[in-house]
Structure 1
């Protein structure tokens, strides 16, 4: 088939790589002229790594990943360890180590694997129209292209989603702002082989190791929507929001480079189940934009890609049949995880102070089994189990 993918993000690229391996002619159109990933890094949990393994990228993702052997929650003010445990039982249970990775490095690796010659940058989708035998797409440069299948992997502001649903979907503000970036590993801030999260007051400061001796960090603060975003004020604001927090948090704030730090107001969208219209199918954030609170957004996009590739390969009744089967299986799983992430978001960010305080108290009694059970429940059910 001749396939057009809208969006050169993680989902679009993984779909493109896999579809090429099955002999399809694939072109990716991306509206931005230069790829500047939103977010410094991404948690590629074991289900996401398995998707990359399936595409033959085992060594490539391993090279990008940090070694994360332990997990810990720390009281942000007192620096008391609330819980700390090994992730080995989780890795053995699901059959694959997770890898926190630089989002940019992952995206560039996928672009190289797909082939830059088939990625059209700086060209935005403007219109979709179907004929009896094809789907025709028009672009911002005045050109148009015809394909057998259009994959809308165009993110949370998806135009393809608007075509499929027949209306625009409003995003829902999750109630907090996230600052994220990369710093060199310093064990005065956190152990080099551990996912460390400082918590308190509905706020989080988290660090994960990625390749080349770096931490991926993020700060979460519950705040109103639409506050001024002044990069020059990032350090001052973080010092204000975390004024009485422990020394490692203060050290991290000193180390960040505001010019290389991202600020994101966190949103999701209400789950929906219509992902297909004719020859157009949705994938990734276009289908299930979620908060990052369980670290499954990118993994879900990769799962979508693998399941779509396989559905097209093994269900030969018709294109519509293959797409419908994809829609049914993936919408149920992805929408469940959107709601899980929303629930975790509300607990973590003190939507109800009593519930969040109860969670903090539970962490002091946690031996790792409950947390790992929750992570494993997010991982299982993927298309490569």
Structure 2
């Protein structure tokens, strides 16, 4: 199909990657976002090899390598500091054919925007409705603007306005049961080795340090808590010191060293797997289609897979736009449902929903040489479209 025009709602990772993939396929693309300034949600993201391969395919291999962290090893410690397992990720990289890149979300967004070129995103454009007829689809904005194209892509995130139109009912987000604090700190030997993903686990909680570019660690701290507890940056350090009392020295050092005003605090949610991802000429993509807990590190990667598959079907099938979108849905529905459910299951195990299972996992880590962990990661990666 030639000379298609796509209206993309949302300029997050999924929307920008979609815009790039569609433009490279020769289509006209307009990208809209409701915000007045593009600022990524969250500090950083672990881009596993399936996501990196999509970026490679879009000609961004060198760019992502230059902003990605060099993660060579993975290590688990008990919360009191005993080493449980430490292993090289080299066998995983060899198996899947691409190294992962933990990356600052700001760096990733900047890279995608530069690849798209200047003035590619129209800001202050809040999409409130979509409509379609036999030949076109239209996004309707709060300011009265209407954008019409051959298709509309709803990449408008976990609070998607387009999702209800596509699935026919409102979709409630599900609280997964834990709160995540995340941010960036300078690399330092008293926190973790510079090329290792280091995790401390215990009491249903996690403390993690992951290398990203420019001598920084991406950190996160997870605590199972009831939803809705009020919290402000002024109290983050005190709260975390309480939650991680008695934990190993590097965790204490991290809590003292983080900048509360540049730390994000997120109550982790997902959504039930959707039975439909498209309606006629309107498709859901990324978190709008499959909001997932971050416990498999696949949220951003799945958005990138979506973008690649969508562009691929619009390029390679010539029956109709609606036919291409149905093929996109068929290719993605089970894949993303599996990611949501496995991430939720892992979140439960990691965060002490059934503490007996969590304790059993801690014991398993002591016997782990990396083979089992890497096999699970490889299985997720190799189920992607560019395996």
Q: TM-score range by the shorter chain?
A: over 0.9
1:53 correspondence with 2:93: no
CA shift, 1:37, in A, is 1.1
1:351 correspondence with 2:353: yes
What's 2:265 paired with?
263
What's 1:375 paired with?
377
Pairwise CA RMSD:
0.8
Counterpart-to-counterpart distance in 2, 1:184 and 1:20: 37
State how many pairs are aligned.
384
Q: CA deviation digits over 1:202-231, x for unaligned, max 9?
A: 000001000000000000000000000211
Counterpart-to-counterpart distance in 2, 1:381 and 1:190: 31
Match of 1:296 among 290, 298, 315: 298
Counterpart-to-counterpart distance in 2, 1:118 and 1:184: 33
Query: Does the 8 Å contact 2:174/2:270 carry over to 1?
Result: yes
For 1:86-125, list aligned pairs within 5 A.
86-125=88-127
What's 1:129 paired with?
131
CA shift, 1:301, in A, is 0.2
Equivalent position SS for 1:293 = helix
Counterpart-to-counterpart distance in 1, 2:342 and 2:160: 22
For 1:312-331, list aligned pairs within 5 A.
312-331=314-333
What's 2:34 paired with?
31
Counterpart-to-counterpart distance in 1, 2:314 and 2:215: 40
Equivalent position SS for 1:204 = strand
Query: Does the 8 Å contact 2:150/2:321 carry over to 1?
Result: no
Question: Runs of 5+ in structure 1 lacking a partner?
Answer: none
Counterpart-to-counterpart distance in 1, 2:120 and 2:47: 25
Query: Does the 8 Å contact 2:280/2:325 carry over to 1?
Result: no
For 1:188-227, list aligned pairs within 5 A.
188-227=190-229
Equivalent position SS for 2:292 = coil
> TM-score scaled by structure 2?
0.98
CA shift, 1:130, in A, is 1.1
1:76 correspondence with 2:63: no
Counterpart-to-counterpart distance in 2, 1:64 and 1:379: 21
CA shift, 1:188, in A, is 0.9
What's 1:17 paired with?
20
Counterpart-to-counterpart distance in 2, 1:291 and 1:210: 21
What's 1:234 paired with?
236
> TM-score scaled by structure 1?
0.99
CA shift, 1:85, in A, is 0.3
Equivalent position SS for 2:119 = helix
Query: Does the 8 Å contact 1:283/1:304 carry over to 2?
Result: yes
What's 2:179 paired with?
177
Q: CA deviation digits over 1:64-84, x for unaligned, max 9?
A: 10100000100112x110000
CA shift, 1:289, in A, is 0.3
Counterpart-to-counterpart distance in 1, 2:5 and 2:319: 18
Counterpart-to-counterpart distance in 2, 1:195 and 1:137: 42
CA shift, 1:333, in A, is 0.6
User: Which range moves more in the overlay, 86-95 or 323-332?
Assistant: 323-332
Question: Runs of 5+ in structure 2 lacking a partner?
Answer: none
Counterpart-to-counterpart distance in 2, 1:130 and 1:325: 19
Query: Does the 8 Å contact 1:179/1:220 carry over to 2?
Result: yes
Equivalent position SS for 1:116 = coil
Equivalent position SS for 1:270 = coil
Counterpart-to-counterpart distance in 2, 1:232 and 1:98: 34
Query: Does the 8 Å contact 1:273/1:332 carry over to 2?
Result: no
